[in-house]
Amino acid sequence: MQLATPHSDDGAVQFSVSGPAIDSVKLVSYDGFATIDNGTANLIVTGQVGNGDIARVFVPDLSLTSQYQASVAAAAVRGTYALQSLDGYRVVLVR
C-alpha cells in the first residue's frame, strides 16, 4: 500500500483494505498496528507519516488483486492529534 498525503504534519493515519481474502498485513517503516476481520484489514500507522509505502498486504490469490479496495478512514495532526480533513488523501494498492 502506498499513501499520498496533502499534509506534512500527519502523526497518525487510519486505513482499511477489503477484498476476497487477506492473509496478513505488515506495516512498513511505521509504528502502529493492523487487524484482519471478515476479509477487511484495518490499519493505523503512527509517527512522522508521509508519502510512500506504508504496508504490505498479503493475499492468497494474486489473480484477484483488482477486487481489493483501500481507503483512508481518518488522519490526525502530529503532536496534537487533531483530525485532518481527508481531502487530498489517496491510498493505492500496488503489486
Under DSSP, the state recorded for 8 is S
Work out the pLDDT band at 38, boundaries 50, 70, 90: confident
Residue-level pLDDT at 95: 83
Q: What are the Cα distances from residue 84, in Å, to 35, 41, 91, 95?
A: 23, 22, 15, 28
Q: Got the DSSP string for 10-74?
A: EEEEEEEEESS---EEEE-SSEEEEEEETTEEEEEEEEEE-SEE-EEEE-S-GGGGGG-EEEEEE
Taking only the tens place, the pLDDT of each residue in 55-83 is: 999 999 999 989 999 999 999 999 999 99
Full set of structural domains in the chain with CATH: 2-92 (2.60.40)
Q: What is the pTM of this model?
A: 0.92
Under DSSP, the state recorded for 83 is B
